[in-house]
Amino acid sequence: MPSAPDGRPPAGPEDLEAAITVLNGRRWTALTGAGISTDSGIPDYRGPDSRPRNPMTYQQFVGDPGFRRHYWARNHLGWHHLRHREPNRGHRALASLEARGLVAGVITQNVDLLHQAAGSRRVIDLHGHYNEVICLECGHRISRAALDERLLKLNPGFLDAVAAVTDIEIAPDADAVIEETASFVVADCRLCGGVLKPDITYFGESVPPTRVAAAYTLIDEADALVVAGTSLAVMSGLRFVRRAAAAGKPVVIINRGLTRGDSFASLRLNAGTSEALGLLAERL
């Protein structure tokens, strides 16, 4: 469900000054969500202006060949869209701040790899990323590009046919909202014939414990936490806000719309991430 709109006016210069005061002299960790990538042309799941969506769950994917066919058909189109996206001012600002030693690293709920493309070096892809595929039977991994070569051969003309349809919505996980998927041919693992799945944490699936532990370490190493572009609707992100707040560390939330972490925040900015992070990079 999209996050509730923020009833306050958009953040002004005084709000930015307050954020600078909180963060000045502190080394902080960034926790980012889909909102940081909207200016790169990737729609948000839960922003105030987002369309309602029901992402496929892990149980649906593994339990029903029809669901898998539907997912891979949509992902085939979505991946071709997502791989051409470029980092925006917000991504570049965090990379610059890390290079200057002001940001300890980034924990991102996104799977688009735009933080790495911008130059961030210490990035924890909390939910995995879209560029690798794993076999659920034997564990064999291949690149998404290698799988794309197979899908193009198995489904000649599919992308051209879909391209004729206008107003196709692309989701943050490289999924696309299209209706006609019944004829799509899914590729299985070449080693064992098992089910292939993007190396992404689906709804209803747990984040690997080692990844969570690494993210906690990044929270513990920093003096503050900046949340950018996420409504914190799921516990996978909210737990890091709770940990920082419990340790007495300032939490600054930059988001258009209310979040589940607002009660833990030292400061909230009703603002877009590109502008706010860009200004912080210029002023800190």
Q: Is the CB of residue 3 less than 8 Å from the CB of residue 258?
A: yes
C-alpha distances out from residue 230 to 57, 237, 258, 259, Å: 20, 9, 9, 7
- Write down the catalytic residue from 70, 76, 127, 129: 127
The sign of the torsion formed by the CA atoms of 129, 263, 45, 7 equals: negative
Task: Examine the residue annotation and report whether 81 is marked as an active-site residue of this protein.
Answer: no
Catalytic amino acids?
A: 127
